[in-house]
Structure 1
Amino acid sequence: MEIKLWFCLILLSAITTSALGEFGGTLMEGFYKESCPLAEEIVKHNVEVAVLRDPRMAASLLRLQFHDCFVLGCDASVLLDTHGDMLSEKQATPNLNSLRGFEVIDYIKYLLEDACPLTVSCSDILAMAARDSVFLRGGPWWEVLLGRRDSLTASFSGANQFIPAPNSSLESLIVNFKQQGLGIQDLIALSGAHTIGKARCLSFKQRIVQPNMEQTFYVDEFKRHSTFRRILRSQCKDSSRDNQLSPLDLKTPAYFDNHYYINLLEGKGLLISDNVLVSEDHEGEIFKKVWEYAADKDLFFLDFVESMLKMGNINVLTGIEGQIRENCRFVNI
C-alpha cells in the first residue's frame, strides 16, 4: 500500500505541474536547482531541528501557510511586521497571540540569504516548511512547486475577513473556501490538518456550553458526548484559562494521520468548525467523504496533497511581480 501511495503522489505531482494553467501561476519543481541548489535541504534540516525542540512547531508552520494563502494569496504577507501606515496581519484577531513560528522562518531566511542572497522567497520558504512539517509528523511528502515572490504589503482587514474562524458554520466555511478558489473537496481534505496541533480554550469554549434547547439536534449531540465535554470543561474551567491548550486530536496528537476524521464521526472534533462538517451536512456529501478518509488514510493523504498544491498556488506572485525580501518581516528599501 505504501508503494502504491508513493507512486500516486509522484504521479499527482507530475500531473499538477503540467496542469498549472488550471489554477494560474507559473510555479515549477526544482525552481532553485541552479540558483540555490541547497535551498530545500536548508529548509528541511532547520524545520526538523525546530520540530525536535518543539513538536508543536510542525502544526504551527503548517498553519502559517494556511493563514498566508487565505489573505492576498501565497505571498508571505503574513510575515510582514507593522511598518508606517501598514498594519501587520499578525495583529488581526485570527493571528494575534495565536500564530507562531515566525522566528523559525526568520532563521531559515537568514541562512538562505547567507548561502544565496536575494534568491529564495519568504513565500517559498513557507511552502517548503509546511510540507516538511507534515512529513516529519508522519504525513505524506510531495514535491513543492516553487517560484513564488513576496508581496509588498499586508492586509490586516483581509486577515480578519478571510481566515476561517474556529466557530464558523459549514455554510460560511464553504463560502470562505470558494472565495479562494477552493471547493468542498478541498475544505474537507485541508481540514485534516487539524490532526496535529493544539487550540486554546478560547477557541472551543462554545463546544462545552449547553446549546439552545430549541435546537433538538445539538441538544442530543451534546448529551451523547457529555464525557468528552467534561474532559474539555476540566481544562477550561473559567476565563482565566482561556489560553490553556488542548490537542486538536486527543487520540494521536503528535502524528499526522486520519484520526481527525474518526473523531468527527464520533462527535469529538475539538472546534465547532470541525464538527459542522458532519453536524450541518444535511445532504450527506461531506459525511460520505469524512467516512472514506476515516477508513482510508492513503486516500486522505492523496487528497490532502492535491489540495495543498492547489492552495499553494492562490494568487501567487511570479516573474517580476513583488520582490524577494531580504528580511521576511520587512519590504526591501
Structure 2
Amino acid sequence: MLFGTAAVGAGVVLAGCTSNEPSDEPAANDQPAASDDKPGKEVTIGYAGPQADHGWLNAVNVQAKNRAAKYEDVTFEVTEGSNDTATQIGQIETLINKKVDVLVVLPADGKALTQVGLKAMRAGIPVVNLDRVFNSPQAYRSYVGGDNYGMGLNAGHYIGEKLKDKENARVVELAGLDNLELTRQRTQGFDDALKNYPNIQKVARQAADFTVESGQAKMAQLLQAQSSFDALWNHDDDQGVGALRAIEQAGRDDFLMVGGAGALAAMQAIEADDGVLKATVLYPPTMAASAIDVARALGQGKGISGLAEFEVPSSLTLYSAVVDKENVGQYMSTGFK
C-alpha cells in the first residue's frame, strides 16, 4: 500500500509518453528493483528498535522481524529493544562493529542518537531512520515514518464533518506526552483542521502519557471539568483503553470519540458500534516492515519496484487514514494488540 499510489502515478506518466517510434531508452521495468520476493544479494540488516512497553511499539518490532523473515537473502541482527539512549547507542555501535550492511533504527530519542547515526553513515553503513527522526539528514540515508500532523488534521476534519451542522459545538482533546514533538504536531494538525469549522470550539485539552493508567486518570479530569461536549480526539488507542474506562464509569455517552494509531481493540469497538468510539486515525506500525524493504533495497544497491527512480527515496511518509464503521473491515487485519 505504501508504494501503490506512486506506482500508479509512474504508470500514467509512462503511458502518456508512449509512441510507436522506436526508442533507445531502457524500459522503466528493466531497472533493478528490490521490493519483490526473488532472492538477490545477501544482506545483513541490523535493527535497533524500541522497548516493547506499549502496544504500538511492540507491533513495530513484530512487523520488522516478520518482514525480515520473509526474505531468504536477509540476515537479521536484532538488538534487545531499549528506551534508554545510552543503552541503544551502545547496541548500535556493536552493530557497526559487526559491519552489518544496513542499519534500521527507531531511536529512543532522535536528537540524542544523531551522532551514532552519523558514525554509521561515515562507516559506509546506510541508515534507515524509522519514525523518530534524527536531528541531521546526514545521519540517515532514508527516513520512513508516520504523519503526526496529518493524523491530527484528519481527526479534526472527521470530527468537523460530523459536527458541521451543530451550533456552538464543543470538542476536547486528550493528547499524549507534551515533551514529544509528535504530540505537538498532532495537536497542531487538529487545531488547523478545526479552523475550517467556525461553529466548533476546542474547550479543553489534557496531556496524558500514552498509558492506560494515564488515559483513565486524565480523561476522568476532563469529564469532571467539562459537563458537556460533543467530541473527543484521543491521540493514542492504548491510553484510549483507560479513557474509555473513565467514560464508562462516569456514565457518559453524549459525545463521539476519535482515537489514534489503529489498535485492534479500537477497531473491534468501532465495528461493534455500541459505544462512544466511532473512529481511529491510523499511525501504521507497518512502517517497520516498509523500513526493512527499504534497507534490503539499499543493501542490494537497487531501487523500489513501482518507482521510476534507480535510487531509494530519501523519505517516505505514511498516510494517516481514518477508520470508521464504513471501512473498518478493510483495516481490521492491520490492528495491533
TM-score (norm 1): 0.27
Higher RCO structure (Cα 8 Å, ≥6 apart): 1
Larger Rg over CA atoms: 2
Structure 1 or 2: more helix by fraction: 1
Structure 1 or 2: more strand by fraction: 2
